Structures are given as structure tokens and as C-alpha cells.
Amino acid sequence: MMIKAINTTAVVKRVLIGSVAAVTLYGSIGLAIARPTVGLVLGGGGARGFAHIGVLEVLREQRIPVDCVAGTSMGGLVTGVMAVGLSPEEMLSEIGKADWRDMFKDTPVTSEINPQKRYISRRFIPGTEMGITKDGTEPLPGVLEGQKIKLFFNKLVRSQYGSPQIENLPLPVSIISTDLVTGDKVVFREGSVTKAMRASMSVPGLMAPYPDGDRLLVDGGLVDNVPIDEVRARCNPDVVIAVNVGSPLMKAKDIAGIFSVAGQMVNILTEQNVVKSLATLKQSDIYIKPDLDGISAGDFMRSADAAKRGRAAAEAVLPQLQALRVDDAQYSSWLAKMTPVRGQLPVIDAVEIAGLKQTNPKYVDKYLRGYEGAPLDIDRVDQDLGLVYGTEAYSTVDYALIASRDKNILRITPLEKSFGPDFLRFGFNIDSATNGPSTYNLRVAYDKTWLNSLGGEWITGVQLGNNPAVFTELYQPLDTDQRFFVQSKLSYQRLPFEIYQNNKAIAEYKIDQFSADLMGGFNVGLWGPVSAGWIWRQRGANLETGDPALGSGDKNFGGFAAQLYFDQFDRLYAPMNGWMAKGAYFNNAADNYSKAELDLRAAHSAGSYVFLGRLYGAGSPTGTLPFYDAVSLGGFLNLSGFARGQIVGDSLLFGQLRAEKIVGELPLGLRGDMRVGLALEAGKVNGRYTETELNGWQSSVAAYVGGETPIGVVYIGYGDSPNGVSNIYIFLGTP
């Protein structure tokens, strides 16, 4: 049954009985009067759990001490943070400042990803890889691993002063989780506070289970969302204050699609155990259920609103709560016990990297230098661990500050991916235009990582579709810092190519290209690689349609090549901020020409607007670019009013300005947004082999809608030019 109020007379009677007991025990009426003990229960409910903070505000204002607390999911988070001494005001401030949208996106900022992994991520859909183990293939355990969430928990509990343990807290604490393997309830009464918080909040399907020995721990709401029995077992309180913030069951009209069905199933399981828990409430207990209508479990940006509603719910039962008040002296004594004394930050004596089996500890250590002899800077730790996570070798990277033998040890615990170290990666693209060739391809690759202690990687795969391809690539670092490397590539690909004149395709070719590259180079920090070596190409042009007089033929060529690829964008495909610089030089001494390219791009955001620019130039410093290795313009956002590769010549200049308006964001946990955009473009091709009548600069305008999604980039666009052709473009997937 649900008890919304307590019997005041009964509580007063219990207080009087306790007072008599205290007098009898101590023999003096002048000694402190015993008070009813209070157990606090904070239920789970996702973002609705921020209402707990409002309840805590009222308890503090009314001078109501708590003798033990048990929490589940978000209630477990608030439980842990309360027990380490944060006031409700501090909680609300810290939670309000947090960027929850970013926190639920494990994907690192692109500029912080290891350059080699960044190169692979652009070709394959991030987050779709499958691990290859001795037992077969294994999919990702959840949409996100909870990397940023766990580090945020560390900040909340002030881990820079030492990683708090439940058994050392001034208040008996229980945090509830569920063993996904057995279905058993798991109660944390000892161990790391943040570990318990993270395990209790692992919503199945959204967040990967938290590994704990042989157990896989998930959201405690599946078995005990309002843990009343646990708080009774913890301290046998006279009065239980139970706060229920669970989500109601969805109406029939709201259940549509697999995600809503799955969500409703979880809600049913949760509601069943909540009903059983509430039935154990006694007449003297206090039940608080805030009105959270309109606030969903995923509304993490509405913490202040939820807290306000929690406060209102607590104030609605204020007469019952006031029966639990104590005098100022008693409450001050309790509060002093709850408030930790924090002095100077501890100085780090040593850094320890623990738990690695497959990867080289030095691969982690390179990001963690300069800690010894200085106070722990938690913001720097978060930043550096983000870089370690950006290597994509680990599911999570955590830390703990441990006092051992009069030394402060910063223990770093990278958790190697359980579903690796080898992976199947997937990519696809649909690239269609009303004028010009369209392509439809599926890409699958086997990625074998950590071939050796230096982090060697071999990836080989196939592309199926109307542009079939096979490829194999070996990347071998030459030092543990992975500054220097050698790289070899072999590939075959069939490409479409059309020849245009007067805005009409007069011939269509299929180009069969064989490639071989052998390069060596170095990474300029996280900017990207600079490399040089030898490349070789064989291109066979087979005429499909058009005048037979145009002919077909093969061409072999090769020579010295140098490249740089600096990428400091914050996202792979639809950046908000940052820049990119690509440069390439090729010298073909046999055919007496060289080729140079420079592509500069930048992005800057202001509120919901993003402004982007591009400058691109290419040509031959010596000689003339032959037709088989010429440069071209045309295609979406590459002089959009012309078909892809429509204007081919010896050299080119191209400039572009774009403005985008963000019109929608993807659901919590998914990186990306949707935008409407406008592009103004101008380009000039000299020494033209096609479209020989197009003299001077050509202008183009493009309008589009799209953005970055979990399956890559999506765009629908329209391009037009006074001298070109109108074109409608559709793109979906990875380049």
C-alpha cells in the first residue's frame, strides 16, 4: 500500500517512549532526549531523480538528520553524493553546470582521437564494430560505455582528495544494482562509491554493463527500485522516508516501435518491484511521490525543475516531517559528522597503471607525464584520460587516488575491450545525384589490432556494390609513443568516370585502379601525420558508353609522394569548431610532371549557427598534369551546380563559404544534429580537358538539410549554377 502521510500521534508517542528510555538509561532528565532514527530511501527514475535534491533541501532546512540511506539508479547517485558530504545546493550547482548531452556521448572529440584511429573512423561507422574473440563475434555491450559519466561521478564525490569508500563514510549507505547474469540483487555496502553509482545507473541497452569480477552489473531498478527493505536491514530505522520518482507506464498511444516497447518492458519490471516495496511501508513511515508529469527519465537538462518539484512534494508532508526535527545542537552535531574536513590537495608520489593484459602500459603512460610531485589536478586528469580513451583501445579509463605506505598513488585503470582486440568494421554509402553517376556500396573489414607491443595494426576488407573494391593495409609504429611509423597499402577499386561537354555526359568510363603505397612518417602530436614514400598506380579505362573513337587504355605510373593530414575538427563529418589541413605532393619523374594539392578548412559556431570555409588549390609545379592524373571540380559542396568531376583540368582554385543553422539534436546518447545550410562557391579550372567552353571563374550555390548521425553523415541538397546544371544530391553513410 502507498502511505502518503504518517500518524503524527504515533510518532509523538514513539518520541515520548524514546525520551523515557533515555531518562531511565542515563538517570537524568538533563541529558539529550533520544530521537526516532530515520532511514532515507531514494528511488530510481533517470533524470526524474533530480527531485531527490529538493527533498534533501527540505530535510536540511527542517533539521532532520538521517541515520542511513539506500538508493537505486539516480537515487544511488544522490545517495553517494549526499554521503560524501555535498549539500543539496552544491549538488544542484554541480549537476546544473554539467553538459549532460556531451556526458552521454562516449565518442571523444575528433581532435583528441589517435590519428590512425581517426583515419579508420572516417571510413567506417563508429560504434558498429563487432569484436572477434576465441568464442566468435561479440557486439558492442551498449550504446555507450559511460566513460564521461564515471569521470563526472569522480568529480562529484571529490575524488581528488582520495577515492571514497562506502565503508568509510560517516553514514551507512547502500546502493542497489542488478547482476545481469543471474538476475540477483547486488547491494553495495562497501567498496568504491563511484563504482557503485556507475553500476546502479547502467540502464540495459543504453549503457554497457559494469564488469565486476564474474558479474555484469546493470541498473538496480530492475530488482529493487525503491529499496525500503534494504534501508530497514541497514539501520533498523524507526521511520522510513521513501521517495519514489519512477516513470509511469506509457499509454497505448505512446507505444510505437521497438524502443518504446523495450522501454515499457523495463517500466513494467520496475513497477512490479516498486509495488511490492511500497506495500512494506508502515503507518509511521513517510511516502513522498513528487509530481513529475512532463519530465522524462532522459530530461537531464531539467535538473532545477525536477528539484523544485521534489521540494514541493516534501513540503506537502511538512507536518509529518516536522515530527522528526531535532534542536540546533543535535543537528549541528550530525551535520558536522557529515561534512568532511578537506585541507590541501594531496601531492602525487607515484602513478600506477593497472590491469593491462594486451596493450602496452607505455602506450597509456605517454599521456600521463608530469603528475609526480604536484597536487592532483582533477581537470587535467579528466583531459588526459580522455586522450587515452581516444586511442580506442579501451572500454573505459578510470582512476583512483590511493594512500599506501604513506604515499599517494594515482592508480590508472584502463579497461581493455572485452570484445576485442580484433574487430569487424562496417561502412556503407548511398551517393546519388540527378545529374552524374550514383553509387551504392557496403564495406566490411577485419581489423586486427595490437599485432605487437608497439601497437601494430592490420586491416583488410572488401567493398561490395557498384564500386567494388578490396584493400589491405598495415600500420606499424616504430616507438611506444607512436610518433614514428611505417605504412603499406595495397588496393583495387572500380570507379565511374564521365566526360562532359556543354553540361552533357558524352562518355562514361569504368576505371579499374590498382594501387600500392609504401610510406614512412611521424605524427605531429594529435594534429595528424606527415609522411613520405613511394606510390604506384595502374589505371585501366574501359569505355562503357560514348563515341568509340575516344578509346580505352591502361596507364602505369608512380613516383615519390609526400603527404600531411592535420585534423583538428571536433566531429568527424559535421564539425562545430576546428580546422583541417590536407597537403599532398607527387613527383612522376618518368612522365616529367609533379602534382601538388592543398586543402584548408575551418569551422566556427555561434549559438545554433555554424560557419564554415574552405580553400582548395591544386596543380603541377613542373610540367602539365596528364588527363589520367588531372584535377577536377563538381559534385556536392565541390562546386555543387555541376556534376561530380564535371570540369577536369591541369590546375584549379576553389573557395567556399557555408552557413548552417542547427534545427534539431539527436536523442540523448547519440552524437550529432540536423541542420539546414547554404553554401556559396566559386571555382576556376585551367587547362581544361572537359567543358572546354567554361572560361574563367564559375559560381555555384547549394542549399541542403542534413547532419551527422550514428550511421554517418546524411544530406539532401540542391545545387545550381548559371553555367552548370541543377542537381539534387542525396548522401547517406560514410565517405
Q: pTM to 2 decimals? A: 0.82
Q: Which residues pair with 513 in a beta bridge?
A: 493, 539
Residue 425 DSSP code: E
Judge whether residue 535 has pLDDT over 70. Answer: yes
What pLDDT digit, counting tens, does each position of 77-122 carry?
A: 999 999 999 999 999 999 988 888 888 877 788 888 889 989 998 8
Closest CA to 436 of 639, 631, 626: 639
* β-strand pairing of 130-133 with 185-188: unpaired
- The grid cell for 568 is 583538428
Q: Is the pLDDT of residue 268 over 80?
A: no
Least Cα distance to 376 among 338, 348, 404 occurs for: 348
- Contact present, 492 and 470 (Cβ < 8 Å): yes
Q: Is the pLDDT of residue 498 over 70?
A: yes
* Helix 303-316 × helix 51-61 angle, to 10°: 50
Mapped onto helix, strand or coil, the DSSP state of residue 471 is strand
What angle is formed at CA 322 by the lines to CA 321 and CA 328, rounded to 5 degrees?
125
Strand ranges for 547-577 from DSSP E? 553-567
Q: Which three cell numbers stand for residue 283?
A: 503507518
Q: What is the mean pLDDT of residues 273-291?
A: 94
| DSSP conformational letter for 320 | H
pLDDT in tens, 642-696: 999 999 999 999 999 999 999 988 766 567 789 999 999 999 999 999 999 999 9
Q: Give residues with Cβ within 8 angstroms of 476, minimum separation 6.
A: 451, 454, 456, 457, 485, 486, 487
Verify cis geometry, omega within 30 degrees of 0, for the bond prior to 346: no
Is residue 178 very low, low, confident or very high in pLDDT (cuts 50, 70, 90)?
very high
CA distance 74 to 104: 14
Q: According to the per-residue pLDDT averaged within each range, which of 117-126, 206-215, 394-403, 483-492 is highest? A: 483-492
Using pLDDT thresholds of 50, 70 and 90, give the confidence band for residue 198.
Answer: very high
499: helix, strand or coil: strand
* Catalytic residue list: 73, 219
**23 has a pLDDT exceeding 50:** no
